[in-house]
Structure 1
Amino acid sequence: MEPQAGLAEKARVYALDELFDSRLYRAMAERERDPKNRAVLLRMAEQEYMHYEFWKKFCGDAELNPRDELRLRLFMLSSRILGKVFTIKFLERHEKSVVAEYTEILESGALSGEDSAELKRIIEDEKEHESALADQIEEFAVRHLGAIALGMSDAIIELSGVHAGFLGYTSSSVYTGIAGLIVGVSASMSMAAAAYLQSKQEKGKAPGATAAVTGVMYMLTVILLTAPFLLGLPILKALTASLVLAFIVLAFFSFYSSVVMDRAFARDYLENVGVIFLVVVIGYLFGELVKKLTGIAV
């Protein structure tokens, strides 16, 4: 059976997409020092190149253009800054639509015999194998994603509550910042100790590394969120700036983790934002209550 009209044009798009992925994974493999990670990346590169070879049969040779080469460099930069797992999974987020298009071609009867059987194998690769291979790559950030989330999210929630509480208790942004810093330093040590003890009960966890990551992320978040207060901004502006920074950090991390863990970004992010707003309101009301009960304001 002859391929349907327009298949050559579609095949060229698919071939270029598969070739781009293959080139990217091979470039990552060339820079990878860990033998296990390199082997996984090379396997992914070979798999994508086989897909490219399949589509090339229907459109002839396809080469990446200068725009694709620039995009390749950007993804390589992403892999160095954000990690290989994030970069691969971000690139593969469009796989559902690709699988749907491949399935449509398969079901249309445009291909037959060995070509049809090979396309079925490619669809299975796109559905399962690539994501499973990406999950085999070992990276520090991915391995300690839970500790990073714990340190950062707990610091955001706790500091937001402290700062909002002082909004109803004092007009001094510097005092508020100092209070947040004191609470944050103490809490970072407490969280690190708790993470250490908890990870000792879990197989495969490195207690020291988990504790260090939790404590450091907590402390970095504390420094970031207290900075607007310590700079001497009016307290309401400082609180607003601190919350904006918290939402930006939270948005970045929520998106990062949603890509790595294959979760929905919007739901997780909005849920976290809702928790922060609730903590801010409760913290402010508690500060007002303390001021009324004690009759003391700073």
Structure 2
Amino acid sequence: MHASVLKYFVEVARCGSVRKASERLFVAASAVNRQILKLEEELGCELFDRLPAGLRLNPAGERLLRHAQETLQQYQLVRTEIDALRGERSGEVKVAAMDSFFEELLPATLEEFLQVFPAATYSLAAVQPMAVPPMVLAGEADLGLCFLHRLPAGVDVVARARLPLGVVMPPGHPMAALDEVPLDECARYPFLRSGTQPVIDAALSPAFAAFWEAMTPAATCNSTPLLKRLIRAGRGVSCFSKIAFMPELARGELVWRPFALPAVNALQVGVLLPSQRSVPGVCRDFAERMARRLAQLERAASAL
């Protein structure tokens, strides 16, 4: 059986839900479900009990789960041994990323990577978006994840995706009825700010910069989980990319609307590497995996 099929099966078993597994895998739920059904057809039996509360492994599924976990583990061990012969899969991965990446995308990539590169060490820093490129340039980070605008020389973009800033709010909020949110409309409601520093360069949108400086936030907090809780409780709205809110948006717990600002709506996020110094091969491999997951996230976000 193909490794990806086993990985899908293990994740569905872990989550007890095709939808939740698809969110963690950044793969369409229909694709995950199709692979599970194909696997059951190939084996000639069902692997899950379909219950109102979700999926539960039956005895056949439990037996296959043990096999799948053992197979995937052995496969990764063999890969590690083979690559050790080539002197690879070791070293340090230093990542600087804006906080949104720490909600789903970066943890999922790191979890996968730890299995493939168990000998590597990792250093991850959550910083304001505009602080990421200077850290990559200065060598404080080998890999950066942030919004892309006016990047300094010496930094290369190895992957990009259109995931701009917008307004996050509860489903019943008045602005949820709008296709785009004007700044003056957003200013009418309590605003929850993710930090004191602007999230984008003022040169990208002077109007947004003026809005950011003029607002008196109801709360300023650099913890995305706390901001999520406050937004769900109706304590205010906030400004984020969809990156940090994919599960909540998919479940309809929160709503995201773009700003009525063409420059902000064209904003992209990306994966950065330094161009004027070499980084370990393990860092480049990490960047490639982040790029693949970022592309999957962009497709999933466009459907929400």
Give the TM-score of the pair, scaled to structure 2: 0.24
Give the TM-score of the pair, scaled to structure 1: 0.24
